[in-house]
C-alpha cells in the first residue's frame, strides 16, 4: 500500500490595515496638459452628460410624485 506524504508548509502572512500603513507619496498634477479630444469623444461625452441630467430630472420628478407634492398643487 502506498503512503501519502503531506508536504504542506503553512505560511505566516502579516496583514497591515491601510490606516496603519506607511503613506505613499502622491503624484502631482502640476504640468499636466489637457487631453486632446476628437469630435466623436466630445459628442459622446456631451450625450452622456445630457443622459445623466435627464435621468436625474426623471428621478427627482418620481420622488416628488411619490411624496405627493404634485397632488397638493392641483
Map out the domains of the chain as residue ranges: 39-73
| Average pLDDT score over the chain | 88
pLDDT in tens, 25-61: 888 888 888 889 999 999 999 999 999 999 999 999 9
List all residues 6 or more positions away from 45 whose beta carbon is below 8 Å from its beta carbon.
37
Q: Is the pTM of this model over 0.75?
A: no
Alpha helix stretches (DSSP H) within 1-74: 39-67, 69-73
Amino acid at each position: 500500500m502506498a503512503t501519502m506524504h503531506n508536504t504542506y508548509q503553512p505560511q505566516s502572512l502579516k496583514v497591515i490595515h491601510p490606516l496603519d500603513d506607511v503613506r505613499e507619496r502622491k503624484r502631482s498634477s502640476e504640468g499636466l496638459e489637457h487631453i486632446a479630444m476628437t469630435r466623436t469623444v466630445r459628442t459622446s461625452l456631451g450625450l452622456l452628460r445630457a443622459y445623466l441630467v435627464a435621468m436625474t430630472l426623471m428621478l427627482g420628478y418620481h420622488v416628488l410624485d411619490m411624496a405627493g407634492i404634485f397632488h397638493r398643487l392641483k
